[in-house]
Amino acid sequence: MRRAGILALACAAVAAWPPAAGATNECRGLKVCVPVAGPWVVAAGPAEVRYQLACPRRFVVGGLDAELSSRDVDVAFRGALGSPVNPGITTSSSAVFLGRLLARGRPAVFRPHIGCIPTQGGGRRFPTAFAPGRPLAPTTVELAVRAGVRRLVERCPAGRRMAGASTAVGIYTAAVPTVAEMLGVDVVEHTFADHVEVVVRAQPSRARRVVQVDLDCSSAP
């Protein structure tokens, strides 16, 4: 997949430099659309970082976009199988962005955007031998970051088994955060059989910062 500056629902991503403010295209071609912008998400290495961005109630994701601080940030999104490729089938009321830094050196950031359209019902799925289901039910928890050290323990809902977990740091600033801001939050996670422990160490900052914890919760007993 090509390095992405702009994500389109039915197309591969194309390479782009960070667009100017207001130049994102998550609502392009949509008659009724509510744009939702996320924070700048830190990508500090080749390991994939996930960030989930949600629409308002009774809306589904109809378009996607992303701003990048570097051409070396690769961004994609997770879509569901089904036909046709369409809002409400490929997407739901939220979108999970997948980012990673392809070059070594200083960290970079990406800012996800979604365009939300009113729910109107999706098209029909055409299953193969086994209809593709959703074996993993993601559970997302967001923690506001304050200067100092905080510890968070999270578990999957009752009746589900934890298959994995990931964390992402988000920084709410109008412009691209500085490298000092990107490195100002350190997150260490320890994954166990039934829970994840997250320790957040943060330097003082005027920016609003969050840590998003994504749990992969299996429906299997």
Residues in the chain, total: 221
Q: Where are the alpha helices (DSSP H) in 117-185?
A: 179-182
Distance CA 192, CA 188 (A): 13
Please tell me whether residue 114 adopts helix, strand or coil conformation.
strand
Q: Is residue 9's pLDDT more than 70? A: no
Report the pLDDT averaged over residues 43-50. 90
Q: CB within 8 A of 40, min separation 6: which ones?
A: 69, 109, 110, 111, 170, 171, 172, 173, 176, 177
176: which 2 tokens?
Answer: 């691209």
Specify the range with the lowest mean pLDDT, choosing from 78-87, 122-131, 160-169, 170-179. 122-131
Residue in 163, 214, 155 with CA at minimum distance from that of residue 187: 214
Q: CB within 8 A of 28, min separation 6: which ones?
A: 63, 115
Q: Is residue 125's pLDDT more than 60? A: no
Residue in 117, 114, 64, 115 with CA at minimum distance from that of residue 88: 117
Average pLDDT along the chain: 83
Domains and CATH numbers, the chain: 1-124 (2.60.120), 136-218 (2.60.40)
**DSSP structural state of residue 145:** -
Distance CA 115, CA 188 (A): 32
25: which 2 tokens?
Answer: 């295209």
